[in-house]
């Protein structure tokens, strides 16, 4: 895309407290960058300390350093304690982005009870408990935004990772029920469904020449979709510009679906 393109600024995001899970790399990293550039106060959690340190240094040089907290989101007590530290530092959480996930490929035959539990823990369970942890502060404020990262994988449907696909489809149901439950408190809940986003992980692990042909053949837009484009969708959904949008699934896949 043209590097000279000018993108939207959202005044309503300035000074908002934004908490991003899995924010050290991939789509999450671009979420952290995008919200920091909007003047938001950003905190993020991850287990990739080296990548997180590099991201913090990069944004500090630009004058908007985020707060990084190491947290294994599959450890629910640690998750809850981390949210409390963020609340203690910032006073509230205005926007939660449930981004962290692991899209490791696997076959049906490889699934065991143990691998099932591990996949659900890293791809689904923490999203509900993160929401549970931040909602009281949002209720006190009378407003808030929760963005849950799903995927088009369950819509295609993808046949190479059944546990991941199951978790990502469940996120849609969780989004809708939370939107209806929390709307009376001024809290909006939406989900984002990316397609084949060209993150560094995708390039390293999955984007073979054969897969690239499959992706571009399926998409209406015949180019790769970049992680910063997903972040720009999140900016809109977190801002007051989308104040009437809740309980919805927002696909960003270059027209695959």
Contact 37, 64 (CB under 8 A): yes
Contact 221, 254 (CB under 8 A): yes
Q: Out of 10, 44, 68, 164, which one is annotated catalytic? A: 164
- In the DSSP assignment, the letter for residue 222 is -
Contact 104, 163 (CB under 8 A): no
* Distance in angstroms (rounded) separating the CA atoms of residues 100 and 143: 23
Nearest 10 degrees: CA dihedral of 244, 41, 92, 249?
30
211 part of the active site:
no
Nearest 10 degrees: CA dihedral of 231, 232, 235, 237?
-100
Contact 123, 164 (CB under 8 A): yes
> Using alpha carbons only, what angle is made at residue 252 by residues 248 and 257, rounded to the nearest 5 degrees?
90
Query: Cα separations (Å) of 12 from 7, 214, 239?
Result: 15, 39, 6
* Distance in angstroms (rounded) separating the CA atoms of residues 159 and 236: 32
Kindly list the catalytic residues. Answer: 164
């Amino acid at each position: 895309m043209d590097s000279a393109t000018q993108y939207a600024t959202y005044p309503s995001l300035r000074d908002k407290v934004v908490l991003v899970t899995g924010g050290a790399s991939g789509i999450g990293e671009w979420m952290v960058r995008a919200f920091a550039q909007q003047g938001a106060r950003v905190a993020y959690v991850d287990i990739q300390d080296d990548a997180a340190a590099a991201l913090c240094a990069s944004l500090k040089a630009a004058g908007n350093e985020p707060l990084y907290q190491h947290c294994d989101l599959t450890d629910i007590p640690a998750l809850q304690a981390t949210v409390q530290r963020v609340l203690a530092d910032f006073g509230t959480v205005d926007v939660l982005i449930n981004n962290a996930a692991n899209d490791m490929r696997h076959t049906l035959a490889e699934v065991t009870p143990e691998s099932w539990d591990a996949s659900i823990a890293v791809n689904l369970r923490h999203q509900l408990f993160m929401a549970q942890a931040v909602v009281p502060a949002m209720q006190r404020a009378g407003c808030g935004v929760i963005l849950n990262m799903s995927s088009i994988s369950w819509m295609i449907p993808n046949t190479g990772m059944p546990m991941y696909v199951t978790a990502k489809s469940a996120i849609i149901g969780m989004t809708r029920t939370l939107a209806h439950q929390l709307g009376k408190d001024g809290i909006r809940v939406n989900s984002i469904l990316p397609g084949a986003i060209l993150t560094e992980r995708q390039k390293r692990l999955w984007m073979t020449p054969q897969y690239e042909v499959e992706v571009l053949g399926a998409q209406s837009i015949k180019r790769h979709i970049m992680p910063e484009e997903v972040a720009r969708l999140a900016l809109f959904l977190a801002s007051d510009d989308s104040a009437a949008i809740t309980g919805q699934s927002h696909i960003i896949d270059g027209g695959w679906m």
